[in-house]
Amino acid sequence: MPPPTPADTAVDPSPAGPRRALLDATPGPLHPAAREALLSALDNGWADPRRLHSEGRRAAHLLDQAREVLADAVGARPAEVSLHPSGSHALQGAITGLRSARRRVGDALVTTAVEQALVLRSPDTEPVGVDRHGRVEVTAWAEAIGAPGVAMGIVAPANPEIGTRQPVEELATASRAAGVPLLVDATSTVGRLPLPRTEAYAVCVADAAAFGGPPLGLLAVGAGTRWRPPGPVSAPERGREVAPPSVPLALAAAEAWRQHRHAATDDARVAHELIAAIRAAAADVPDVEVVGDPDARLPHVVTFSCLYVDGEALVGELDRRGFAVASGSACTADTLQPSHVLAAIGALTHGNVRVTLPLAAVAPTRERDVARFCAELPQAVAAVRAHLGTLDL
């Protein structure tokens, strides 16, 4: 067989048809400045930062600079921050380190019923229930975290699927009163919502993909936090990783933050209004339920559920019309299990659409894209219902 030609293996970056509207930034394309930084870092920062030759020392120097910028993203000092291949790696490492330091106290991990699957799959997890918006109640949290044998609490400042914000400062106060360290999972919220006060938590995890960078996990362990790295301290990233981070990715992530940190407030304000428009347009479609808190939420995320619609078919119909959206649906090929977040709030788990807006700097047409989405959504839902023969229900 002849070797494949480039045409066989290349993926068309811009599918044919209508202009593409990117409404699923999980992850999204890089911030343009981050992309430039990545390309030049591929030339300047390719070496192993542990090497002693000039190229290695240059890579190490660039990595130090990137770490200094990225520390600001997680409200920490550079010496407290480690870089990881993804937010999930950082989160896994953070849990392991806290567990290890707290093993004499206990194993229980108190969290919410809507945390990400990686947290809920951890051993000895005790999820606290949420209300119909997905918000955890402070008194229920305080009771769970105050029980004997709790190693840590874990909470995301807002839910990345339905957007609802958690009362994270109050949860932090309750955790502190119980003497239990709190891990703040800002994987999906960093750059989109302000972080809690740094005194409020022990450990913070984030991912540069949330603010227009490439996937790059950030882990900040506050000074004074009892935390034991999984590896020997001589291992990369203060013993927290098995290999040093990619220097080009770290530089691109740092550039994304440098660009975004001053734009964050304005970007969030506009995104909040755009999502409000989508929420209103979706609620106007018959038999559609918009979930999550309408106001106290992530600025750029919304999920809605459509009765009598197959979620995959709806995502396909929207894709055909030029919209890239995610489905929170259960009925995917790889799993029969419904979304635990939607199940926890009593929402429909089928016929879901999740919109995650990219930053304006990443998608300069996002306002027009949202307007077009709002206009076409009723027809798209009706088209899928017509195909399923459910328009008359």
Partner 1 sequence: MSAPVLDARGQRCPMPVIALARAARAQPPGAVLVVLADDPAARHDIPAWARLKGHTVSLADDGGHTAYRVVLGGHPAEKSTAGA
With beta carbons less than 8 A apart as the criterion, state whether 196 and 215 touch.
no
Please report the DSSP string for 50-83 in residue order: T--SHHHHHHHHHHHHHHHHHHHHTTS-GGGEEE
CB of 310 to partner 1, least distance (A): 6
Binding mask 333-372 for partner 1 (x = CB under 8 A): ---xxx---xx--xxxxxx---------------------
- Closer Cβ to partner 1, 343 or 360, answer by number: 343
Binding mask 13-42 for partner 1 (x = CB under 8 A): ------------------------------
CA–centroid distance for 34 within its chain: 18
Q: Exposed (0-12), middle (13-18) or buried (19+): which is 269, by Cβ within 10 Å?
A: exposed
For partner 1, which stretch binds (CB under 8 A), given 91-99, 254-262, 371-379, 385-393? 385-393
Q: How far apart are CA 341 and CA 162, in angstroms?
A: 8
CB of 388 to partner 1, least distance (A): 7
- Closer Cβ to partner 1, 129 or 149, answer by number: 129
CB of 15 to partner 1, least distance (A): 27
Q: How far apart are CA 353 and CA 178, in angstroms?
A: 39
Side-chain half-sphere exposure of 257, counting CA atoms within 13 A: 26
Q: How far apart are CA 256 and CA 35, in angstroms?
A: 9
Residue among 113, 331, 360, 382 that touches partner 1 (CB under 8 A):
331
- Closer Cβ to partner 1, 133 or 366, answer by number: 133
- Closer Cβ to partner 1, 62 or 278, answer by number: 278
CB of 62 to partner 1, least distance (A): 47
For partner 1, which stretch binds (CB under 8 A), given 68-76, 92-100, 237-245, 306-314? 306-314
Q: How far apart are CA 127 and CA 140, in angstroms?
A: 10
What's the distance, Cα to Cα, between the start and end of the chain in Å?
54
- Closer Cβ to partner 1, 29 or 338, answer by number: 338
Using the rule CB under 8 A, is 330 a contact of partner 1? Answer: yes
Binding mask 261-290 for partner 1 (x = CB under 8 A): ------------------xx-xxxxxxxxx
CB of 287 to partner 1, least distance (A): 6
What the block records as the tokens of 322 is: 């030029």
- Closer Cβ to partner 1, 158 or 290, answer by number: 290
Residue among 115, 310, 369, 376 that touches partner 1 (CB under 8 A):
310
With beta carbons less than 8 A apart as the criterion, state whether 144 and 155 touch.
no
For partner 1, which stretch binds (CB under 8 A), given 70-78, 136-144, 265-273, 304-312? 304-312
What the block records as the tokens of 183 is: 């891990």
For partner 1, which stretch binds (CB under 8 A), given 9-17, 187-195, 247-255, 307-315? 307-315
Which residues bind to partner 1, rule: CB under 8 A? 279-280, 282-290, 294, 305, 307-310, 330-331, 336-338, 342-343, 346-351, 388, 390, 392-393
